[in-house]
Chains A and B, each alone.
Chain A
Amino acid sequence: MTSSEGVAPTPGGVTRRRRARPGKVLAPYLLSLPAGLWLLALFLVPLVVMLSLSLQTCNFGTGACVMTWHWGEFWSQLSLYHTQFLTSIYFAGAATIIDLVVSFPIAYWIAFYGGSKKNFFLLMLLVPFFVSFVIRTIVWEFILSDQGIVLGTLKNAHLLPQNFHVLATGYAVVAGLAYNYLPFTALPLYVAIERIDKTVLDAAYDLYASKREAFTRVILPLTIPGLFAAFLLTFIPALGDYVNQQILGGTQNTMIGTVIQNAFLTNLDYAGGSALSAILLAIALIGIFAYARLLGSRTIEEYL
């Protein structure tokens, strides 16, 4: 970071003067000022406002709130909606584990066998993102619908009973979550596996490791941080998701995202919705801090 100043053997005056300029000293702050202000005003301040709202009492009719330091809001919301929290954790957890299992082999394959086509295969993993998230989920509703291309065909062939259905069950929600968040798992895993020094693997084979031993004793331990990162980067967004639940799930098995959305947009219960959001954020933060504690805070950012 000694950078350009003073290094120059050219007429010294110019460079010397430049070093003293306040602009140079302020440069890092000036460069980060616009983004910093934006994130402060529209990310950190809203979080504080959210915490403050959760302690206020709101008029459901008008949405007007007054501060009452009502700490009980957290407890009452939690006792009202703990089932929805548990359902969210259960669905998001199931979807994340499915994604880890499904995407590990493909991440491994791209990293080791992708060759010059690696970028092409990574793009293929990202292809779903070229279609709007909501439309993707609606299309799954079509595919899984009772008389749709899959179930309808199977039913017509009498391979399934007529009253069999997937939509409006927890399975449909987990399937939708697993589909929509698969790239969030596959890409960090790819980064982790790609980073393995291939000579270490060669060394294992030279020492007569079998394929399985090379995998369980070299590759798997080296990808543990990546596995955790992939878990968090999939689980946290899936936890707050409500689109899959609302489109693919039924009126049962409500996830916490639906409750928060209804609190804010339908019931105008800003206090309750804020309290629930704060709890959701707390769950996410616990995961992130656990990761930082176990594997070092810097490493997770490498997988973004």
Chain B
Amino acid sequence: MSAVVAAPEREAAQRGHRAPRRRRHRRGGWLAVYSWLVIAYLVLPIFVMVAYSFNKVNTGLPQVSFTWNGFTTQWYQQWNGVPGLTSAFWLTIRLGIASTILATVVGTLLALALVRYRPPRFRGKTFVEQTMFLNIAAPEIVLGASLLGLFVTINLARGFTTLLLAHVAFSIAYVTVTVRARLAGFDRSLEEAAADLGANSWTTFQKITLPLIMPGILAGALMAFALSIDDFVTSNFVSGNQPPFPVWVYGATRVGIPPQVFVFGSVIFGIGILCAFASIVLARRKA
């Protein structure tokens, strides 16, 4: 690279301080190649997953095989051929929707409180922030284990309720952090204008605040949904005999994974990536 770079740099040095500007406009040379390689490494397992969802099975057992046996769409046609897996999947979806709604509402309210009020009016703000931080930073296994300890102690049967309680508990802090980041640049004078024009607090919130912070709330909700459907560690502790999708898949690793697991994985991936690109495109169109 040095040979390529040397010439423009010498030329730049002669022209003095205009050099840095040129420097930043380059694409990064080897750094770009390296970065694309890292990205390839990150997406490689996804390609493998999608490929194996089309892999034939020769053994007759409902298990994905390590070797490539040929292309088939059989597993997509029989996507609900494994009853336990299908019900685990729907449990994950129901759980994800319920916990997203709860965590988003509760987390957004907290974000509003944290952005707008400071200690003289909001005592204990630092404590709330530290609790949130600890909640995010603590190892997830500790959260899961301690929740199971609580449920055992108060004798609450493990199932959908405990899963929902746990999922909201680990999502709130993420929602609050996401919404708060978007709220930081919020222009309070718009609300003041509404109040000046005679709107009461509820009308102001509904007509001014809510539409303005909606993108932040949606980002927080997406975060909560992603966390919920992907959660394994906490769910594994508190699910009892009702395993959500990741817990079911983990349990299946002992006996062999049915190919439908990769079908579900590929479809969830496809939907997720579509949503993400749609949000980027929408954001760009707005800007």
Interface residues of A (CB under 8 A from B): 1, 3-4, 7-10, 14-15, 18, 25, 27-29, 31-32, 34-36, 38-39, 42-47, 49-50, 53, 63, 65, 102-103, 105-106, 108-110, 112-113, 119-121, 123-136, 138-143, 145, 147-149, 152, 179, 182-183, 198, 201-202, 205-206, 232-233, 236-237, 239-243, 246-247, 257, 260-261, 264-265, 270, 273-274, 277, 280-281, 284, 288, 300-301, 304
Q: Please name all residues of chain A whose beta carbon is closer than 8 Å to the beta carbon of B246 when the two chains form the complex.
A: 132-135
**In the complex the two chains form, is A277's CB within 8 Å of B142's CB?**
yes
Besides A128-B42, A135-B265, 12 other A-B contacts (C-beta < 8 A)? A1-B117, A27-B116, A28-B125, A29-B113, A31-B112, A38-B168, A46-B149, A131-B46, A138-B249, A149-B48, A260-B141, A274-B146
Q: Please name all residues of chain B whose beta carbon is closer than 8 Å to the beta carbon of A32 when the two chains form the complex.
A: 109-110, 113-114, 122, 128
**In the complex the two chains form, is B131's CB within 8 Å of A27's CB?**
no
- B43 close to chain A: CB less than 8 A: yes
**In the complex the two chains form, is A142's CB within 8 Å of B48's CB?**
yes
**In the complex the two chains form, is A132's CB within 8 Å of B42's CB?**
no
CB < 8 Å neighbour of A236 from B132, B135, B139, B169? B139
**In the complex the two chains form, is B141's CB within 8 Å of A257's CB?**
yes
- B220 close to chain A: CB less than 8 A: no
Interface size band for B: 35 or more
Q: Please name all residues of chain A whose beta carbon is closer than 8 Å to the beta carbon of B28 when the two chains form the complex.
A: 109, 112-113
**In the complex the two chains form, is A44's CB within 8 Å of B113's CB?**
no
- Shortest CB-to-CB span from B122 to chain A, Å, is 4
Within the assembled complex, what's the spacing in Å between the Cα atoms of A183 and B38?
A: 11
**In the complex the two chains form, is B139's CB within 8 Å of A284's CB?**
yes
- Interface segment out of the listed B70-78, B79-87, B210-218, B268-276: B268-276
- B262 close to chain A: CB less than 8 A: yes
**In the complex the two chains form, is B148's CB within 8 Å of A264's CB?**
yes
- B219 close to chain A: CB less than 8 A: no
Q: Please name all residues of chain A whose beta carbon is closer than 8 Å to the beta carbon of B113 when the two chains form the complex.
A: 27-29, 31-32
Interface residues of B (CB under 8 A from A): 17, 19-21, 23-24, 26-28, 31-32, 34-35, 38-39, 41-46, 48-49, 52, 64, 66-67, 105-107, 109-110, 112-114, 116-118, 121-122, 125, 128-129, 131-143, 145-150, 152-153, 165-166, 168-169, 172-173, 176-177, 188, 191-192, 195-196, 198, 201, 226, 229-230, 232-233, 236-237, 245-246, 249-250, 253, 257, 261-262, 265, 268-269, 272-273, 276-277, 280, 283
- Shortest CB-to-CB span from B254 to chain A, Å, is 10
**In the complex the two chains form, is B173's CB within 8 Å of A39's CB?**
yes
Q: A39-B131, A198-B24 are in contact. Are A47 and B146 (CB under 8 A)?
A: yes
CB < 8 Å neighbour of A110 from B35, B64, B105, B125? B35
- Shortest CB-to-CB span from A69 to chain B, Å, is 16
**In the complex the two chains form, is A274's CB within 8 Å of B31's CB?**
no
Q: Please name all residues of chain B whose beta carbon is closer than 8 Å to the beta carbon of A247 when the two chains form the complex.
A: 253
- Shortest CB-to-CB span from B186 to chain A, Å, is 12
Q: A106-B34, A149-B48, A240-B142 are in contact. Are A43 and B169 (CB under 8 A)?
A: yes
The chain B residue sitting closest to A7, CB to CB, is B192
**In the complex the two chains form, is A43's CB within 8 Å of B141's CB?**
no
Q: Please name all residues of chain A whose beta carbon is closer than 8 Å to the beta carbon of B138 when the two chains form the complex.
A: 236, 281, 284
CB < 8 Å neighbour of B137 from A47, A205, A241, A284? A284
The chain A residue sitting closest to B270, CB to CB, is A130
**In the complex the two chains form, is B110's CB within 8 Å of A109's CB?**
no
The chain A residue sitting closest to B249, CB to CB, is A134
- Shortest CB-to-CB span from A19 to chain B, Å, is 12
